[in-house]
Amino acid sequence: MFKKLFALSFLLSISLVGLAQTQKPLSKEDSLLKVYRKIADTGDAIELKKVDTEIARLLKSSEEKDFTFAIRVAYSIKQSSLADSINKLAVQKFPTGKAALNAAYNLVIKAPQEVKAKLEAYETFLKKFPEPAEKADIV
């Protein structure tokens, strides 16, 4: 009985060690998002004001990645309408960026189901966002 219990404990410890080794550490952004979610959950007005200040700082950037992070921050504090507004701003500011590509792709998806309308929407999409020759990653 002792041998079975020891063997079971040993296997369980090995499994837990293996699981711990397969988990990736959180990125800096993901760690911040966890903090922002907790702030939103507590409803601390002073801390939420700091998060708003961080979003404003990100929106002064000239890089799309900062806008993308601002969108994630807004969603993390449960401000989906703010996130949607930032996304629209990103589409305007970066007309050939990822946010614009996603918006254009959504138009293709939402196009009427008639073949002609779908084809026209897809062709318009490809004119604006041609598939790069070296990297075929358009869905």
DSSP string covering 88-101: HHHHHH-TTSHHHH
CA atoms within 13 Å, Cβ hemisphere of 110: 6
- pLDDT value for 104: 87
- pLDDT value for 5: 45
- pLDDT value for 22: 54
Distance between CA atoms of residues 60 and 8, nearest Å:
56
Q: In the chain, where are the structural domains located? A: 25-93, 95-131
- pLDDT value for 11: 45
Mean pLDDT by runs of 10 across the 139 residues of the chain is: 48 50 72 87 89 93 94 93 95 93 87 85 87 61
Q: How far lies 98's CA from each of 2, 78, 90, in Å?
A: 59, 22, 9
Asked whether 55 and 74 are in contact (CB, 8 A), the reply is yes
Question: Which residues lie closer than 8 Å to 87 by C-beta, 6 or more apart?
Answer: 71, 99, 103
Q: What is the pTM of this model?
A: 0.69
- pLDDT value for 4: 52
